Structure 1
């Protein structure tokens, strides 16, 4: 059994030596240096991205309250304006019904709301 282990060990060493002759050690060193250079650059990039993510998170925390407050304000303004325009259309309709000559001929056509719909996404 011991002789068999020795034979396997010597065969392994011979195969290892044969593989070493197939590989140029300068090429291996060059590849190793390039890998270390790439690793360093990736670590630097990772650090920069981590700092940027932290900065972005702080900025978002700073503005998120203002953003949600302004969003609520804009929705309230839109609701108020919709109510005002509805009242104006109703009043204009009543005026037209009561006084048909109150508005010039161009305004007697159907009243079309030409305001943009603010709830649709921009194109």
Structure 2
């Protein structure tokens, strides 16, 4: 009984396989496989290019990172130095203005004396 049942299952599965093979064209399947292999090759090439670019970018970042941090520290130092210089200049200007009230002209006199064109204003 078990042999007969397994034999009927086997014959049914073979019949189903043969029917299914008639539904699908083998040339079409080969074409799909070829397209998939072509796409796989392109994706692998793209992956290799992107991996190389990532390595290159990482190396560039390592090189630039040290320069960037050094230049950032330099700019911060320059800013603090300039802040100190301008603070001293304001202090000196205030002392001179207190000692000599006519040393610095008012705004109307400054505009009359300064005849340079304003480069930030469009013509």
Smaller-chain TM-score bracket: 0.7 to 0.9
Higher RCO, Cα 8 Å, sep 6+:
1
TM-score with structure 1 setting the length: 0.78
Structure 1: distance between partners of 2:103 and 2:66: 48
Structure 2: distance between partners of 1:74 and 1:41: 47
Structure of higher CA gyration radius: 2
For the pair 1:36 / 2:37, whether they are aligned, the reply is: yes
Instruction: Give the deviation of 1:25 after TM superposition.
Output: 1.5
Structure 2: distance between partners of 1:33 and 1:78: 64
Unaligned runs of 5+ in 1: 108-123
1:27 maps to 28
Instruction: Give the deviation of 1:17 after TM superposition.
Output: 1.2
SS in 2 for 1:103: coil
Task: Kindly report which structure 2 residues correspond to 1:49-60, keeping only aligned pairs within 5 A, or say none.
Answer: 49-60=50-61
